[in-house]
Chain A
């Protein structure tokens, strides 16, 4: 597609509910990143894929967070047993090339998660 597409744009979940957030990156982009952005803060890195391989998941805050990109294109971020502190905007970004030097990230519009 022309840009990075994320769905749903808004999600309200009850505490304890599981949620799944989808990211459809720009066609042909090798690298895919998930970030979490709390109100008034900058994006915080969660995890990174190069094609289907998850190369870095050091930013995932707990084992309730899980991400996958099974065919190297669409990615899903799953949050199990949501907690109020999970409320944030979840941003997906993709870039054409892996690694440094040509790493311009294009972000999707984000999925705003509110946990009640």
Chain B
């Protein structure tokens, strides 16, 4: 079993839809969590960190459930420009700062 697992994609949604991605992690000692966005043939870029209390940035909301060991990303009112692959990343405790990534979930927003 992979250390970080994500919903398989692709997700195909119409503009304006709300879409949610989940990500589970197996290492209960993980201490920080992130969502990265990766456009086709580009590098991953940090979308947002995920805090225990949940956090929101415009149309994007991230949640963390430590008890169930999953994080989620909600995108409201999706735009064509949201089409990308979304990677969740977990920072395990005491491993020097390396991030462990999930396989990514591809989102395609259609007109």
A residues whose Cβ falls under 8 Å from a Cβ of B: 31, 33, 35, 40-45, 48, 50, 55-56, 91, 95, 97-101, 103-110
Bound form: Cα–Cα A17–B95 in Å: 33
Q: Which residue from chain B places its CB closest to the CB of A97 in the assembled complex? A: B97
Cβ contact within 8 Å between A105 and B46 = yes
Chain B residues positioned under 8 Å from A100 (CB to CB): 31-32, 91, 93-94, 97
Chain B neighbourhood of A106, CB < 8 A: 46
Task: List, sorted by A's number, 24 A–B pairs whose CB atoms are closer than 8 Å.
Answer: A31-B97, A33-B98, A42-B6, A42-B102, A43-B44, A45-B100, A48-B96, A56-B96, A91-B44, A95-B97, A99-B96, A100-B91, A100-B93, A100-B94, A103-B91, A103-B97, A103-B99, A104-B34, A104-B49, A105-B46, A105-B99, A107-B43, A107-B44, A107-B45
Distance between Cα atoms of A51 and B93 in the complex (Å): 20
Verify A42–B103 contact, CB threshold 8 A: yes
**Cβ contact within 8 Å between B32 and A109:** no
Q: Which of A40, A44, A50, A101 contacts B32 (CB 8 A)?
A: A101
Q: Is B42 an interface residue (CB 8 A)?
A: yes
* Distance in angstroms between the alpha carbons of A103 and B46 in the assembled complex: 11
Residues B43 and A99 in contact, CB atoms below 8 Å apart: no
Q: Which of B46, B87, B100, B101 contacts A104 (CB 8 A)?
A: B46
Within 8 A of A (CB), among B61-107: 87, 91, 93-104
B46 near A41: Cβ-Cβ < 8 Å: no
Q: Is the CB of A110 within 8 A of B43?
A: yes
CB neighbors of A among B33-54 (8 A)? 34, 42-46, 49
Residue of B at shortest CB range from A55?
B96
CA distance A11 to B52 in the complex (A): 42
Query: In the complex, which residue of chain A has the Cβ closest to the Cβ of B4?
Result: A42
| Cα distance, A31 to B95, chains bound together (Å) | 13
Asked if A50 and B44 make an inter-chain contact with CB atoms under 8 angstroms apart, the answer reads no
Report how far A105 CA is from B91 CA in the complex, Å. Answer: 11
Across the interface, which residues of A come within 8 angstroms of B32, CB to CB?
Answer: 100-101, 103
